[in-house]
A and B are shown apart, each in its own frame.
Chain A
């Protein structure tokens, strides 16, 4: 049994996340994203690799979308409405509610502003979203009889989830993007300890280790405050959802505390509407935000106003949230063109910008600089740039923590930059001893899976397994050195429950486990005991007194002789429990006793009638299992004559 992993996107890169995983015949597509950096066919995953016949509905069991970012969902309307996938799609409630906003916003930017031919229409988005089944966290969904999926909280953005998928005994987790530390409005990722064959994790910050967030938040607030205090304008290009709400909470709170009156604007109606979603879906934010809910919904911002185009060149300080982030076009670019040439102004940049965007160019630029938009347009950039270094992605420590916590048998890294991923891969392999892979796009990977043999178990078997099996071990304190003496008690009690039974396989029946008695009963057979026996003679030289007058060895003499033997056996067989039972000695199944029966059937050797009074017969019997032990005992007793 194998898990086959086909990486269609985000393999050794960031953008268009899309991994198709086949577990025991069930095929799941995790995320269906688009690449922001490309405008040609490279922007979508290469779906033809899934099915040559393009019958996607038949070849996929379901699609799972982890969160509403375009690099995770951007290609979904295209895949369902244009490519014709018609099967089930799963995402969390917030993702289902917020994804249409993101998709519609993106479509508008593409078509209205760039004048591009549209890849999918508004109707496509609406129709696509109708096919989506919304899921709650931890809800276990039975996609079909064999495939089970479950969402776990991932932090990252509102409604982001890691997904667990299980088919038979094989199980995987696909993390999507996640954050292991709580931020202003979202909690940290949370997942159960699961038995997993594979974890597919993002690795955006595969080598970054971050310190406390509060320092970076303070830096951001200081930079903004300084700018507005000197009458400058602050442009915060963000996507409508997620970062906008986080920063806005931060600023709203700061404004309140510092009693600032400078206006904070939201660029379009979009973000205001998004805030409504945050209010309704407050259960998906962090515990801290939830707890304050009784008094006031944290997303009822007090100082936030909506922005009007006419305000772009209005005098005076202000803060503006504008979409899209990374200044890849649209309104944020329009404002940027106006504000960038002035030194007083400030532009914040997110921690990560896709190559090809203005944001990305600014990140590596030295101010003042010039940025070429296209053939004709060039912008003089003199404003200040503040790079936001808090990201909703986990850092390397978070990735390591998660992988260690889940302890899967294999790890696949996606959604990262190759050199950093290589470093992380080595770290995972050396520190955690877990096989780690980083397949490139269009690569396919096979991973062996867990498989259990299913059998029915009888009640008696289960009961016998569950009954305690105590063992008492006396530790010999003399053997122990001083350091152990204190820690080891003299008597140790073990309860090693060992389950023993019989597995039966019959044609046309599933395997069944029963215990031995049941098995015999079911077959209607009796146990057949196979024993071995040996009767042999030993010359016993008279010990002390010449008490040879007795014809037969007296009982007392016999007793003392047996005792002697038992002591000897005790010495020679220290691992066994030698029981001296007056008439016989028993060691496991081996029974040793005097034999006075002249016609003992077990005397197979030379049956000379013995007259020597110093001669004694011992009869031993044992069951097959103790054969080796028995012969050792026989040899040992035979040696008696030599010893004494």
Chain B
């Protein structure tokens, strides 16, 4: 098995991407794209910032004029980063660069773990050499599709503004242009070490998305999909987002668990089903979340020191029960709920002051939870403030959430069982507390619009979609509030909207396994081998473990040894026909085995072959070992043969051969030279008797 990490990703919105070679098949984990890189582009301007834009636009048109242009650029370098330094062009999107180094046609299977891991998929599937099977859970596929469609529709705004692209390589991508970008932007374009340029692609089309979706095979949680008869692929809930999953892959030689960012007690999605990953041979640990929130490390280290490493004295039962408790404690969940409540109370405060709230968070689970909370909080404050959900796919998304109880967390499933509606947003929609609109300029929205209000809308990069227009509208309003996620470079993201009088609340949500919990987790899972990301090395520390482990880093192939032999099922019909012989030296029974090998559902099975063949072509007997001449003589004498031994020596006196002459009942001679015996006889019967006697003193099969 070979494992290569193509990209470590960057948090929740840009999950990692790996490729694994198992049992002769190549499996790609996720196909994301880095939408945070959109920050280098200037958002499509609206009337309010058109002045700034016009200046810029005139610049770019003068670029062709020559001298003046250079001066302008030099100016740019020296200038600090400001709104004008952003690239004013139709954006390109940064995909996983290392994936381009692989031959698309050699990929056999693509496993999509979350809607975010799907966003780059149309780039892959539109390649005419692409022939892999794509697996994703039903919910991931649907949500991913909606996100891609929304992306395409938001991008349309750029296209309408800039017109059709003139050539493959846009002006901004030319080297001399790129080199003149401010450092901050250059780092995004080229990567931190300046070597990562590449993978910038123009966005796919709606048709690409449609074609891509046709290639996705949808799975339920824990449904067994069988690829090529050899690999059994199963998705198990990871708790990160509705529909997101970890993967179990098992073949005849190995079973592997792929652990993506997982959440033990999720606020919305079905929680991390780690029990299903127990006892697999290899765990590919791909949860980078603990290195994304760097400040958390100190905490984690303290905890793991106390609770992590030394369990060797406890019995495994103790470890397990204690481990389960640690993993499932609801601290994390309560903390998350507190965060959501905090967002709610901040929002309520700001509405009280007359401001509006803008929430460009793309996590569906969080959005649903916030809607629930707003419903309660606003009612208790007796406030009637409209909530708008503005997105080209808002209606589909909300409708979809109403019919997927199977994918939700326990708390929400319990509502179904107790006969309540799953979400209060059904009621809110009916009585006009919540509105869904496809776009900011839709007529209905303009009619119902009222401020202050709460708006959920894309895109979290603050470069696309309704959020751009609303930010421009509210950025100067000190009473309004922008809720955004940590992890995004706020300075750069907010650059086009400066000066910002608007309040900004940056918050982080649980997006993976905490370091100290991962120790417990691995103890419970009992793998034989674990692959960790290199970045986690210092935090994993010296593990006292029963499993072996090593580390991987981007673009370096790691070899994983197979842990066991292939497993083979032998049918009873065949097993009944086996004839065992006992070896003379070792305490071992052996039997020649012949049949038809099939691979069914990830297992090798040996069937009884065609009967005719078995009987008509018996394999020649194979003898092995050395002949003990005395034993042979005794055996021959027992058969009433008159046999004498003659040693033949070579010219130099060296031992050449031994001969046994048989005179009675008829003449025959046996010549034994090292590993070869030749029987010479004129009589068929005596030849056969002698050969049986020889078989008797040798091991044979």
Known interface pairs A455-B570, A513-B593, A532-B678; A525-B691 also in contact (CB < 8 Å):
no
| Contact indicator B698/A456 (Cβ below 8 Å) | no
Contact with B along A130-141 (1 / 0, CB 8 A): 000010111111
A479 adjacent to chain B (CB < 8 Å): no
Stretch at the interface among B171-179, B411-419, B446-454, B484-492: B411-419
| Contact indicator B677/A530 (Cβ below 8 Å) | yes
| Contact indicator B679/A280 (Cβ below 8 Å) | no
Known interface pairs A465-B597, A502-B592; A621-B678 also in contact (CB < 8 Å):
yes
Known interface pairs A136-B220, A500-B619, A503-B591; A528-B624 also in contact (CB < 8 Å):
yes
| Contact indicator A535/B680 (Cβ below 8 Å) | yes
Contact with B along A591-612 (1 / 0, CB 8 A): 0000000000111110000000
Contact with A along B283-313 (1 / 0, CB 8 A): 0000000000000000000000000000000
Contacting residue for A528 out of B590, B604, B623, B659, CB 8 A: B623
Expressed in whole angstroms, the Cα–Cα distance for A22 and B699 within the complex equals 45
A513–chain B nearest beta-carbon distance, Å: 6
Contact with A along B361-403 (1 / 0, CB 8 A): 0000000000000000000000000000000000010010011
Expressed in whole angstroms, the Cα–Cα distance for A314 and B565 within the complex equals 79
A457 adjacent to chain B (CB < 8 Å): yes
Stretch at the interface among A79-87, A320-328, A624-632: A624-632
What A residues does B399 contact at CB under 8 A?
A: 293-294
Expressed in whole angstroms, the Cα–Cα distance for A168 and B625 within the complex equals 40
B667 adjacent to chain A (CB < 8 Å): yes
| Contact indicator B622/A497 (Cβ below 8 Å) | no
| Contact indicator B680/A499 (Cβ below 8 Å) | no
A459 adjacent to chain B (CB < 8 Å): yes
| A442-468 CB contacts (< 8 Å) to partner B | 450-459, 462, 465-466
What A residues does B1 contact at CB under 8 A?
A: none
B688 adjacent to chain A (CB < 8 Å): yes
Known interface pairs A129-B417, A529-B677; A497-B671 also in contact (CB < 8 Å):
no
What B residues does A512 contact at CB under 8 A?
A: 565
Contacting residue for A457 out of B604, B620, B624, B691, CB 8 A: B604
Known interface pairs A280-B402, A280-B422, A528-B675; A139-B222 also in contact (CB < 8 Å):
yes
Expressed in whole angstroms, the Cα–Cα distance for A462 and B687 within the complex equals 38
Expressed in whole angstroms, the Cα–Cα distance for A637 and B683 within the complex equals 15
What B residues does A140 contact at CB under 8 A?
A: 222-224, 234
B226–chain A nearest beta-carbon distance, Å: 10
Expressed in whole angstroms, the Cα–Cα distance for A370 and B677 within the complex equals 102
B346 adjacent to chain A (CB < 8 Å): no
B684 adjacent to chain A (CB < 8 Å): yes
Nearest neighbor of A96 in chain B, beta-carbon distance: B417
Contact with B along A604-644 (1 / 0, CB 8 A): 11000000000000000101111100010000000000000
B151 adjacent to chain A (CB < 8 Å): no
A346 adjacent to chain B (CB < 8 Å): no
B76 adjacent to chain A (CB < 8 Å): no
Known interface pairs A140-B222, A502-B591; A280-B403 also in contact (CB < 8 Å):
yes
| Contact indicator B406/A93 (Cβ below 8 Å) | yes
What B residues does A20 contact at CB under 8 A?
A: none
Contact with A along B233-273 (1 / 0, CB 8 A): 01000000000000000001000000000000000000000
| Contact indicator A506/B624 (Cβ below 8 Å) | no
| B645-696 CB contacts (< 8 Å) to partner A | 659, 667-669, 671, 675-682, 684, 687-688, 691, 694-695
What B residues does A452 contact at CB under 8 A?
A: 569-572, 605
Contacting residue for A506 out of B404, B588, B604, B610, CB 8 A: B588
The interface centre, meaning the residue of B568, B619, B669, B695 with most chain A CB atoms within 10 A of its CB, is B568
What B residues does A40 contact at CB under 8 A?
A: none
| Contact indicator B569/A169 (Cβ below 8 Å) | yes
Expressed in whole angstroms, the Cα–Cα distance for A83 and B568 within the complex equals 44
Expressed in whole angstroms, the Cα–Cα distance for A90 and B675 within the complex equals 65
What B residues does A503 contact at CB under 8 A?
A: 570, 578, 590-593
Nearest neighbor of A512 in chain B, beta-carbon distance: B565
Known interface pairs A498-B613, A531-B676, A605-B682; A504-B594 also in contact (CB < 8 Å):
no
Contacting residue for B624 out of A273, A498, A526, A605, CB 8 A: A526
| Contact indicator A280/B276 (Cβ below 8 Å) | no
| Contact indicator A627/B568 (Cβ below 8 Å) | no
What A residues does B567 contact at CB under 8 A?
A: 454-457
| Contact indicator A136/B571 (Cβ below 8 Å) | no
Contact with B along A309-320 (1 / 0, CB 8 A): 000000000000
| Contact indicator B220/A532 (Cβ below 8 Å) | no
What B residues does A450 contact at CB under 8 A?
A: 572
What A residues does B575 contact at CB under 8 A?
A: 453
What B residues does A459 contact at CB under 8 A?
A: 565-566
Contacting residue for B569 out of A279, A453, A526, A605, CB 8 A: A453
What A residues does B163 contact at CB under 8 A?
A: none
Expressed in whole angstroms, the Cα–Cα distance for A448 and B616 within the complex equals 32
A577–chain B nearest beta-carbon distance, Å: 14
| Contact indicator A624/B605 (Cβ below 8 Å) | no
Expressed in whole angstroms, the Cα–Cα distance for A462 and B396 within the complex equals 50
Known interface pairs A453-B575, A459-B566; A530-B691 also in contact (CB < 8 Å):
yes
Nearest neighbor of B396 in chain A, beta-carbon distance: A294
A282 adjacent to chain B (CB < 8 Å): yes
| Contact indicator B587/A506 (Cβ below 8 Å) | yes
What A residues does B698 contact at CB under 8 A?
A: 528, 530
B680–chain A nearest beta-carbon distance, Å: 4
| Contact indicator A138/B620 (Cβ below 8 Å) | no
B701 adjacent to chain A (CB < 8 Å): yes
Expressed in whole angstroms, the Cα–Cα distance for A497 and B599 within the complex equals 13
Expressed in whole angstroms, the Cα–Cα distance for A504 and B405 within the complex equals 52
Contacting residue for B681 out of A141, A451, A507, A534, CB 8 A: A534
B421 adjacent to chain A (CB < 8 Å): yes
Known interface pairs A504-B588, A513-B593, A625-B621; A532-B681 also in contact (CB < 8 Å):
yes
| Contact indicator A457/B224 (Cβ below 8 Å) | no
| Contact indicator A502/B593 (Cβ below 8 Å) | yes
Expressed in whole angstroms, the Cα–Cα distance for A536 and B566 within the complex equals 52
B589 adjacent to chain A (CB < 8 Å): yes
| A506-532 CB contacts (< 8 Å) to partner B | 506-507, 512-513, 516, 519-520, 523, 525-532
What B residues does A523 contact at CB under 8 A?
A: 583, 585-586, 624
A501 adjacent to chain B (CB < 8 Å): yes
| Contact indicator B589/A504 (Cβ below 8 Å) | yes
A429 adjacent to chain B (CB < 8 Å): no
Nearest neighbor of A504 in chain B, beta-carbon distance: B590
A475 adjacent to chain B (CB < 8 Å): no
What B residues does A502 contact at CB under 8 A?
A: 590-593, 701
Contacting residue for A530 out of B224, B405, B679, CB 8 A: B679
| Contact indicator A500/B565 (Cβ below 8 Å) | no
B606 adjacent to chain A (CB < 8 Å): yes
B221 adjacent to chain A (CB < 8 Å): yes
A190–chain B nearest beta-carbon distance, Å: 13
Known interface pairs A137-B220, A276-B421; A531-B677 also in contact (CB < 8 Å):
yes
Nearest neighbor of B681 in chain A, beta-carbon distance: A604
What A residues does B691 contact at CB under 8 A?
A: 530, 532, 624, 627
Expressed in whole angstroms, the Cα–Cα distance for A531 and B580 within the complex equals 24
B626 adjacent to chain A (CB < 8 Å): yes
Expressed in whole angstroms, the Cα–Cα distance for A258 and B422 within the complex equals 35
Known interface pairs A138-B223, A504-B588; A601-B596 also in contact (CB < 8 Å):
no
Nearest neighbor of A464 in chain B, beta-carbon distance: B597
Nearest neighbor of B685 in chain A, beta-carbon distance: A631
| Contact indicator A497/B675 (Cβ below 8 Å) | no
Contact with B along A467-500 (1 / 0, CB 8 A): 0000000000000000000000000000011111
Expressed in whole angstroms, the Cα–Cα distance for A601 and B656 within the complex equals 14
Q: A457-B568, A525-B625 provided; 9 other pairs, C-beta below 8 A?
A: A136-B220, A136-B223, A280-B403, A462-B252, A528-B677, A529-B623, A530-B623, A536-B682, A604-B669
**9 A-B residue pairs with CB within 8 Å:** A97-B416, A138-B224, A283-B403, A453-B570, A455-B568, A505-B588, A531-B679, A604-B682, A624-B620
A-B pairs with lowest CB-CB distance, top 6: A625-B620, A456-B565, A452-B569, A602-B680, A457-B568, A465-B597
